[in-house]
Amino acid sequence: MASRVKYDSVKVGDSIPTVVIENVARPDFVRYAGASGDFVPLHYDQTFVEAAGIPTVFAQGMWTAGCLSRCLTDLAGAGNVRRFKVRFARQVWPGDTLTCRGKVTNKVERGGEKLIEGEVEVVNQKGEATVKGDFAVVAA
């Protein structure tokens, strides 16, 4: 599983591939519920969320994190991610447009592997971070 990214060609501060998700919609959450098995009703049941005092259903954090993970697999290839950690900062609502992006913060050789480490985030159309995270991928 050779990595797509060359260790020597990456510098700290470099951007990694960006993914834009336009116009997030309720069917995205329903599809993710079915795919993942996450049936917490906050993400698809409007009656339930209104009764809880929440204006509308919102995305599963792990759906957003999944969209973000593509930045890493686009960078290094699927199977070359060693660590991916996310913190959920803010809900993603129907109608949002998301930009998933990141940058390299460190290069290190560990356990016989050349690793590229960095930070990632998902920001909405107002520039607010909804998910923040960090990662390590293997480089060639």
Partner 1 sequence: MPIDKSLVGKTGKPFTVPIEWSKVREFARAIKDPNPVYFDPELAKKECGGIPVPPTFLQVAAFWQDADSVPTAHFDLRRILHGEQEFEFYKPILVGDVLTGTAKITDVYERAGGRGGKMTFMVTEIEYKNQKGEKVAVARSTLIETGQAVGG
114 phi, psi to nearest 5 deg: -95, 115
Helices within 9-139 (DSSP H only): 26-36, 46-51, 61-76
Among positions 27-86, residues that touch partner 1 (CB under 8 A) are: 28, 31-32, 34-42, 48-49, 51-56, 58, 60-63, 65-67, 69-70, 72-74, 77-79, 81-86
Identify which of 25, 8, 26, 12 has the alpha carbon closest to the alpha carbon of residue 139. 8
Helices within 15-134 (DSSP H only): 26-36, 46-51, 61-76
Beta carbon nearer to partner 1, 83 or 103: 83
Among positions 84-123, residues that touch partner 1 (CB under 8 A) are: 84-88, 91
Work out the number of other CB atoms within 10 angstroms of the CB of residue 17: 15
Taking the complex as a whole, the smallest distance from the CB of residue 81 to partner 1 amounts, in Å, to 5
List interacting residues with partner 1 (CB under 8 A).
1, 21, 28, 31-32, 34-42, 48-49, 51-56, 58, 60-63, 65-67, 69-70, 72-74, 77-79, 81-88, 91
